A and B are shown apart, each in its own frame.
Chain A
Amino acid sequence: MGELEIFLQILFWGLYAGCIYILLATGLNLIFGVMKIVNFAHGEFLMVGAYVTATVFALTGLNPYVIILFSMVVLVAIGAAVERFCFRPILGTGKLNEIFLSLGLIYLFQNLAALIWTDEWQSIQSPYASISIPIGPLNVPLDYIIIMVVTAIILTGLHLFLKRSRTGRAMRATSQNRKGAMLVGIDVERMDVFSFSIGCALAAAAGTLWVVSGQVFNPYMGSIPAVKAFAIIILGGLGSIPGAIIGGLIYGVAENGAAFLLGGIWKDAVSFIILIVVLVVRPTGLFGESGE
């Protein structure tokens, strides 16, 4: 009973951590699909999203699950600006430049945040923090369940947007064939802005879910999750959203398992061990078709 309980607990923690990774990875994937760029600074958007939510929560006391929308809107604006003024000028000038630019963005965002909000660890208390629901042998905090539901709603919404709406279809067309999309009259630069902004909004949602769960946060919180999200999309296949979901869940569970069995320091290391093993065996990723 005891062991089963621990196993379920780890599984549940993993699912919750996985939700945050899935949101980050899906955003990165969307941006990569349309623009073919990799933004290592994606985690900084998660961090800004977390702080926006925490600040609005402290000022107004609104339900943080409502503030998620506001935080996403703010990040849409920031994302659009970053796309327009940083990534668009270097589009097509080589992959290394994208990595370097992201490094600059990481320094910029982290330290602006530290200036505004200080670099102390902070946390907020969700209004449901004291409620937990018994599921089987576990007492599951209500927040965790809401977080999973919110993630599912956002992903379903994104799925419908991409499949049904005209803009969503134009975005998919751009990601399949940029030149072809141009030829049929799609404004691909506009699709770049949309994909980047939506990616940032998803990161803001991830950041919000991070803070409402009661986890501590500081301006440097985003870097490692972003790199892991990137590892997840390599694992799950570039451009594949189901792949990102499966990869995110695998990572969430593997990490928490490793942290329990080997100690906290291995939490981050184990995700890179998985990545390296996968890349050694398949340099294009688990479900990847062609290497980049």
Chain B
Amino acid sequence: MDRERLIRYLSLLVIGVAAAVPFVSGTNLYLLNVLILMLIFIIFSSSWNLLAYSGQGSLGHAAFFGIGGYASTLIAIQSGLSPYITIFLGGAFAAGIGVLIGLTCVRLKEWFLAMVTFGFAIIVQAITVSFLASITGGWDGIASPRLVSSQVPGYILIEYYSILALTIGVILLIYLIFKSKIGMAFLAIRENEIEARVSGVDPVRYKLLAFAISAGLAGIAGALEIHYFGYITPEIYGIDISFWPIIYSILGGLGTIAGPVVGTVVLTVLWDGLKIFGLTYERYIIIGAILILSVIFLPKGLVSLPDKLAGWWKRRGNKKLRNQA
């Protein structure tokens, strides 16, 4: 298929550009910092998007982001393992919690689910700063080992390429899931749960699977961010951390693989671009307005823009022909 090939080449081009950036910019710390956070949020948004793909819109994904971060940090501190291993353990722990949360959610739909997930982020934060304060450091947080020790020369480049590789891996994984029987099952459940059940898809099992994968990936993203920052506080469960992946995914294109990537890149560029102009609250106002406009006028996100423009161009051409005739 022509289109498929085009997308494949485009992806390779994007990966090439991402890999080449440090060669062009040198070790520009500001740029690398922006790019690393962008990559982490691509993983995070993609994980949210995967859950939404199965028809479950979470409003509290920061819970998994934070659980992954805390679990990885605590495992790394207690066991002395390298963060390169503990990020996956943290992700696995988040996936386990995700299944537990999913168990309460499988019977719920749309905004009932949204409410419960929103609440979980708040409950998890409360547990972190009260019952678990002795190991999590309460509101003050705790230091977390860095992904690569800052004594290593060029450590930030190693971190950048590690995270880039992981991001590509995650997107590939999601691509494979979407293509597989599992992805079909997610789609079937999202479109019509009863029909899915009739055709032999067990909705509960697949919804829990979606929760596990999504929470696990979000946990890995959270762990990456924490090991990159070298510090974790309960602010990681903040409402805005839950909202960002949603905004990125919607703007990019809900339920597509490219959507969260495109949305994250475009908004990160916009966000940091506006910062240069010294805007603070205005940035949020602009983001809010963009979100509203895109829900109303571009409900399928930026990835649908080329098709939309092509359609508009074609209609325009037809009109011209008709006028000439």
List A residues at the B interface (Cβ < 8 Å). Answer: 38, 40, 86, 89-90, 93, 95-101, 103-112, 114-115, 119, 223, 227, 230-231, 234, 262-263, 265-266, 268-269, 271-273, 275-276, 279-280, 283, 291-292
Contacts and interface: CB of A to CB of B under 8 A. Distances in A.
A279 B239 contact: no
Contact of B126 (A95, A110, A268): A268
B226 interface: no
A194 to B, nearest CB: 22
Contact of B130 (A97, A263, A275): A263
Given A110-B284, A269-B127, 19 more contacts: A86-B292, A90-B295, A90-B296, A90-B299, A99-B57, A100-B291, A107-B288, A108-B289, A109-B288, A115-B285, A119-B281, A265-B126, A271-B119, A275-B116, A276-B104, A279-B104, A279-B116, A291-B109, A292-B112
B88 interface: no
A115 B115 CA distance: 29
A231 B123 CA distance: 14
B288 A97 contact: no
20 contacts: A97-B299, A99-B59, A100-B291, A103-B247, A104-B290, A107-B291, A108-B285, A108-B289, A111-B282, A115-B281, A227-B115, A234-B112, A265-B129, A266-B130, A268-B126, A276-B120, A276-B123, A283-B108, A283-B112, A292-B109
Chain A interface, >50% SS class = helix
Nearest to B138: A265
A107 B125 CA distance: 22
B281 A114 contact: yes
Nearest to B297: A89
Contact of A101 (B114, B126, B243, B292): B292
Nearest to A219: B281
B110 A100 contact: no
A112 to B, nearest CB: 6
Contacts of B116: 272, 275-276, 279
A266 B126 contact: yes
A283 B123 CA distance: 20
A81 to B, nearest CB: 12
B122 interface: yes
Contacts of A263: 130
A232 to B, nearest CB: 11
Nearest to A268: B122
Contacts of B107: 283
A223 B282 CA distance: 19
A172 to B, nearest CB: 23
Nearest to A280: B104
Nearest to B128: A265
A280 B254 CA distance: 28
Contacts of A99: 57, 59, 110-111, 114
Contacts of B122: 268-269, 272
B118 interface: yes
Contacts of A291: 109, 112
A262 B109 contact: no
Nearest to A110: B284
B127 to A, nearest CB: 8
B118 A279 contact: no
Contacts of B123: 269, 272-273, 276
A268 B299 CA distance: 33
Interface in B35-66: 52, 57, 59
Nearest to B103: A280
B246 A223 contact: no
A120 B282 CA distance: 17
Contacts of B104: 276, 279-280
B28 to A, nearest CB: 30
A231 B119 contact: yes
B287 interface: yes
A103 to B, nearest CB: 6
B291 A103 contact: yes
B250 interface: yes
Contact of A272 (B120, B250, B288, B291): B120
A101 B243 CA distance: 12
Contact of A93 (B125, B129, B299): B299
Contacts of B115: 227, 230-231, 234, 272, 275
Interface string B56-82: 010100000000000000000000000
Interface in B269-306: 281-282, 284-285, 287-292, 295-296, 299
A292 B109 CA distance: 7
Contact of B296 (A40, A86, A109, A112): A86
Contacts of B284: 107-108, 110-111
Given A96-B110, A110-B284, A291-B109, A223 B239 contact: yes
A105 B295 CA distance: 11
A74 to B, nearest CB: 20
Contacts of A95: 109-111
A100 B295 contact: yes
Contacts of A111: 281-282, 284-285, 288
A262 B115 CA distance: 23
B184 to A, nearest CB: 21
A86 B56 CA distance: 23
Taking each of B111, B118, B246, which has the highest tally of chain A beta carbons within 10 Å of its own beta carbon? B111
